[in-house]
């Protein structure tokens, strides 16, 4: 199948699929005419990557996960380790965002939001000693 169909089947834009070949993530065969030819296995891999990216795994994580996906003798512990690392990153990011949220919400709540210049948000950003 050509790249357009692979795109439909995998849910990835053709551009992205070409990019994945560029970085040797999913490398298809080539037809006589130079067109990329995707077999069922390639499409499975693309879908796999699509889902993993959708869960926020980095492309490098996807590369590692793909090679485990393909490895009949993988240890599930290796997969779990990657996923747990990602979970930790997610938790960190959520904590960071919640801290932003708290600070910002506090500032917003104290701002009148009218036509006057006085603004606790600006004051907060300018710093404690202003």
Interface residues with a second copy (CB under 8 A) are: 44, 47-48, 51-52, 55-56, 65, 68-69, 71-77, 79-81, 83-84, 86-87, 90-91, 93-94, 97-98, 100-101, 103-105, 107-108, 111-119, 121-122, 124-127, 130
Q: From DNA, a second copy, none, which one binds at residue 47 (CB under 5 to 8 Å depending on kind)?
A: a second copy
Q: Rg for the chain (alpha carbons), in Å?
A: 23
Task: Of 58, 54, 1, 60, give the one whose Cα is nearest residue 28.
Answer: 1
Q: How do strand 29-30 and strand 36-37 relate by DSSP bridges?
A: antiparallel
Q: Give 40 or 113: the residue with its C-beta nearer to DNA.
A: 40
64 in contact with DNA (CB under 7 A)? no
Q: How far is the CB of 84 from DNA (least distance, A)?
A: 18
Among 44, 47, 53, 86, binds DNA (CB under 7 A): 53
Note every long-range contact of 12-17, with CB atoms under 8 Å and residues 24 or more positions apart, other chains counting. Answer: 12/46, 12/49, 12/50, 17/46
Q: Give 18 or 93: the residue with its C-beta nearer to a second copy.
A: 93
- CA dist 100 and 112 (Å) reads 20
């Amino acid at each position: 199948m050509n790249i357009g169909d692979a795109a439909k089947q995998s849910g990835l834009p053709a551009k992205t699929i070409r990019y994945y070949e560029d970085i040797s993530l999913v490398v298809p065969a080539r037809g006589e005419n130079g067109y990329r030819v995707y077999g069922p296995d390639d499409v499975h891999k693309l879908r796999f990557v699509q889902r993993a990216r959708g869960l926020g795994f980095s492309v490098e994580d996807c590369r590692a996960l793909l090679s485990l996906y393909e490895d009949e003798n993988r240890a599930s512990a290796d997969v779990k380790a990657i996923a747990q690392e990602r979970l930790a990153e997610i938790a960190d990011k959520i904590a960071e965002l919640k801290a932003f949220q708290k600070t910002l919400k506090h500032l917003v709540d104290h701002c009148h939001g009218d036509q006057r210049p006085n603004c606790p948000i600006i004051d907060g950003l300018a710093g404690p000693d202003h």
